[in-house]
Chain A
Amino acid sequence: GAVVSQHPSRVICKSGTSVKIECRSLDFQATTMFWYRQFPKQSLMLMATSNEGSKATYEQGVEKDKFLINHASLTLSTLTVTSAHPEDSSFYICSARADTSGFYNEQFFGPGTRLTVL
């Protein structure tokens, strides 16, 4: 099956610093990737849709300057949390939509990144 990796799996940082999370599709190309945020015992909330070679589309209420997304290649999207604060602590999950029609354009999920801001 299609595999999506995320790095790092967990990160602890000080308030005011920036953190970059990578999302890679390992064995397929993904023009479109998605970034979600999940709080404990809650659902996944879509933050933004990342498209290779173009600007990301952010969901309402998500600060573009706070959560910078770069989709520089067909296999890599990055999420940078700028000037992180404790309220940004959460579980961040990415997914990649396979370009190959045989996958029903299905989304494959990464294992997630736990961010803790002290």
Chain B
Amino acid sequence: AQTVTQSQPEMSVQEAETVTLSCTYDTSESDYYLFWYKQPPSRQMILVIRQEAYKQQNATENRFSVNFQKAAKSFSLKISDSQLGDAAMYFCAYRRGIYNQGGKLIFGQGTELSVKP
């Protein structure tokens, strides 16, 4: 069975600084996707970034980037120039290829990020 592990329950960063959130996963599949979701206090889940396993290039979305180490099964999220609005719970998630199991997401435990002004 696939598992996703986030070993940092809480992280803190100074505004305008950079922070990295860690995520490891376990799978025997070759076709899968990895995601980072943000859940602010409103509890609305927001997709931050997506990485296809077959792509070697790390995904980037503005201030958010990932370090995808496929062999190590590691998928960390880097937030640059942190802003107060980045404060939220962040979840790492795994999804098998779309033709397997309907594409259900498996979430990590979450990392609560606080941003200090």
Contacts and interface: CB of A to CB of B under 8 A. Distances in A.
- A and B associate: yes
Interface of A: 32, 34, 38, 41-46, 49, 51, 57, 91, 93, 95, 97, 104-107, 109, 111-112
B16 interface: no
A105 B35 CA distance: 13
A111 B107 CA distance: 17
A104 B106 CA distance: 17
Contacts of A51: 102
A116 to B, nearest CB: 15
B39 to A, nearest CB: 9
Interface stretch (B21-29, B42-50, B71-79, B80-88): B42-50
Nearest to A107: B105
Interface string B79-110: 00000000000010000001001111111111
11 contacts: A32-B103, A41-B110, A43-B110, A44-B105, A45-B107, A46-B104, A46-B106, A49-B101, A51-B102, A105-B103, A109-B46
A49 B110 CA distance: 22
A97 B96 CA distance: 14
Contact of A109 (B33, B45, B50, B104): B45
Contacts of B101: 49
Given A91-B43, A109-B45, A46 B105 contact: yes
